[in-house]
């Protein structure tokens, strides 16, 4: 490990700690086990990261940055139809899981099983992710299919609120099966199509 560069050491710590946090959760993850697997001293670990909490939040911040960049890269390819866009974004989540399942699993775990000792820190990051993520739903939407007698802004707000509530419900129901993340995402996508059909019936002029 001594032959590695500073960046390589930091990356090694990141990779091993990520695995331990996923496998054991924050409270049960051991910095002793992390440094043992990497082959470094605790002093080196805490040289890069002040403590276990700092390490955990660094991984979460890095993961959120990765997610935001990933979705922004494809934002111009999204459909102008709000329901098609929701399905496209859901598919992009599946693609993201295929590309980097550990990061996806870590973030899902962080927002579902929030460590009580820094709940506020996690909530702030959840809000940041939502702030970055929401514009993907709203930019350049085509509302010409909406019924003429409804408030289009309220209709869009209703759709987003419903999808968000459904997502949170689904995550809560599957919080003990995070390891089945890809399978759960597929089930969510299939259920989502049924809910979208119901929402379309109330908002669109024609199905």
Q: What is the pLDDT of residue 58?
A: 95
* All residues at 6 or more sequence positions from 17 whose CB lies less than 8 Å from its CB, including other chains: 29, 34, 55, 56, 59
Q: What is the pLDDT of residue 127?
A: 87
pLDDT (tens digit per residue) in 41-55:
899 999 999 899 999
Crossing angle of helices 119-133 and 52-73, rounded to 10°: 10
Q: If you average pLDDT over residues 25-39, what whole number do you get?
A: 92
Q: What is the pLDDT of residue 149?
A: 94
pTM: 0.79
Domains along the chain with CATH numbers = 1-49 (1.10.10.60), 59-203 (1.10.357)
Q: If you average pLDDT over residues 160-182, what whole number do you get?
A: 71
**Is residue 161 predicted with pLDDT exceeding 70?**
yes
120/183 Cα distance (integer angstroms): 30
Residue % of the chain over a pLDDT of 90: 39
Name which of 174, 176, 203 is nearest 187 in CA terms: 174
Q: What is the pLDDT of residue 72?
A: 79
pLDDT (tens digit per residue) in 114-157:
878 888 999 899 888 888 877 877 888 999 999 999 999 999 99
């Amino acid at each position: 490990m001594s032959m590695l560069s500073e960046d390589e050491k930091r990356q090694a710590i990141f990779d091993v700690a990520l695995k331990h946090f996923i496998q054991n959760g924050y409270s049960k993850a051991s910095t002793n086990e992390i440094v043992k697997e990497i082959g470094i001293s605790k002093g080196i670990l805490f040289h890069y990261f002040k403590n276990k909490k700092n390490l955990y939040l660094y991984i979460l911040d890095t993961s959120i940055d990765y997610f935001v960049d990933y979705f922004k890269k494809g934002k111009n390819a999204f459909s102008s139809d709000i329901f098609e866009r929701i399905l496209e974004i859901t598919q992009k989540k599946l693609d993201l899981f295929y590309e980097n399942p550990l990061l996806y699993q870590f973030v899902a775990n962080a927002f579902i099983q929030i460590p009580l000792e820094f709940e506020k820190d996690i909530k702030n990051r959840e809000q940041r992710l939502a702030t970055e993520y929401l514009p993907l739903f709203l930019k350049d939407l085509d509302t010409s299919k909406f019924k003429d007698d409804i408030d289009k802004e309220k209709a869009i707000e209703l759709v987003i609120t419903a999808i968000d509530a459904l997502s949170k419900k689904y995550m809560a129901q599957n919080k003990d099966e995070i390891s089945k993340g890809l399978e759960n995402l597929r089930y969510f996508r299939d259920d989502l199509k049924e809910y979208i059909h119901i929402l379309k019936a109330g908002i669109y002029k024609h199905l």
